[in-house]
Amino acid sequence: MPVDVILGTAGFGEHGRITTIPLAKEFLDTFKERGYYVVDTAFVYPGGFQGESETFLGILEVDKHRFLIDTKVRSFQANSHTPESIFLSVEEQFKRLKVSKVRTLYLHCPDRATPFKDTHKAMDDLYKHGKFERFGLSNFTAQEVEIFVKNAKENGWVTPTVYQGLYNLVSRLNESELFPVLKRNNINFFAYSPLAVGFFSNVRRGHEPGLGSRFDPNTRQGRRLRERYFKESFFDAVESIEKVGAKYGISNNSIALRWLTHHSELSDGDAIIIGASKIQQVKENLLSLSEGALPDEILDVVNDVWESVKSDAPAYSR
């Protein structure tokens, strides 16, 4: 099967970018009309206002409308992956989602204060009680992925079969270290932030998005994203991609998405997670994902851009 497309719902919620139930439904309907049925959410979405995204999806009863749900347990704090914390997280999340099981249940990032074996055993217990179909890891190092695979084999526990990670034109460090581990262990890769959270389309040297944007310097997320992307090499990269794209009438976003679909390390069974704050953006992104391979000249620029930003590229793990 080809690379799949998943709707990211990190923006769903009263404190997100899709702030009403009718608007969230419009996003889901637009996605479903084009033949896609998987939604991605998490305990922490949107942006620290935990539970709002899952609550929206539960109100809309997405599981009764053919949608499959991928979600992530409470993470990002020490001891958030103890068995007790995981069980409580899942209980709360399923209540919000109004479901008894999900397709994929992820550990959102490593909790290195809790032994991985304790965490893995808890996930295995949930799996054997039918709470999810696929065990996922996100933001772990390649070495940590191998630990989970080893623990699964030695103890007869559920094996991770999907990894969700950062991957786009200027974030490719996982290609050399992580991807070989995933391929060797038959673990699919689901790419988040394919458009670098809007950096390709909304940020230019001397013209920075301000208050209310994802790069708002007054928010924790905005400061983190500025630290990740606001570098001279990245500004140069955007200009280079925009220049060559203009020759062919192809936007930066379309180049980024078509590169992932046709020219990246993604393969059958992998997926691209797309999110947006406007319906038109979803339609445009889905159209780009349906289009063909890029011209060779654009590919040459994309590869040159990667070489120029590699030393500044963000880490794939946390």
**pTM recorded for the entire structure:** 0.95
Q: Which CATH architecture has domain 4-198+265-292?
A: Alpha-Beta Barrel (3.20)
Q: What is the pLDDT of residues 182-214, one digit of tens each?
A: 999 999 999 999 998 778 876 666 666 666 667
Express as a percent the part of the chain with pLDDT over 90.
86
What is residue 15's DSSP assignment?
T
How many of the other CB atoms lie within 10 Å of CB of 76? Answer: 15
The whole-number average pLDDT for the span 34-49 is 94
Mean pLDDT of all residues belonging to the chain? 94
Cα 84 to its chain centre, rounded Å, is 26
| Residues in CB range of 144: below 8 A, 6 or more apart | 110, 116, 137, 317
Q: Is the pLDDT at 1 greater than 60, yes or no?
A: no
How many of the other CB atoms lie within 10 Å of CB of 28? Answer: 24
* 229 classed as catalytic: no
| Residues in CB range of 187: below 8 A, 6 or more apart | 145, 149, 160, 161, 162, 163, 181
Q: What's the confidence (pLDDT) of residue 208?
A: 65
Q: Is the pLDDT at 99 greater than 90, yes or no?
A: yes
**Nearest alpha carbon to residue 275 among 93, 1, 94, 42:** 42
Which of 38-47, 110-119, 195-204 is the least confident region? 195-204
Q: Is the pLDDT at 240 greater than 60, yes or no?
A: yes
**What residues pair up with 253 in beta bridges, in sequence order?**
none
| Rounded Cα–Cα distance for residues 5 and 269 (Å) | 10
Q: Is the pLDDT at 102 greater than 90, yes or no?
A: yes
pLDDT band, residue 224 (cuts 50/70/90):
confident
**Nearest alpha carbon to residue 287 among 23, 36, 19, 113:** 36
What number of CA atoms fall less than 13 Å from residue 191's CA on the CB side? Answer: 32
| Rounded Cα–Cα distance for residues 178 and 89 (Å) | 28
Q: Is the pLDDT at 222 greater than 80, yes or no?
A: no
Q: What's the confidence (pLDDT) of residue 125?
A: 99
Largest CA-CA distance found in the chain, in angstroms, rounded? 56
The whole-number average pLDDT for the span 165-189 is 98
Catalytic residue among 36, 45, 167, 229: 45
Q: What's the confidence (pLDDT) of residue 216?
A: 74
Q: What's the confidence (pLDDT) of residue 201?
A: 76
**What residues pair up with 163 in beta bridges, in sequence order?**
137, 189
Q: What's the confidence (pLDDT) of residue 198?
A: 78
Q: What's the confidence (pLDDT) of residue 212?
A: 63
Residues across the chain: 318
Q: Is the pLDDT at 301 greater than 70, yes or no?
A: yes
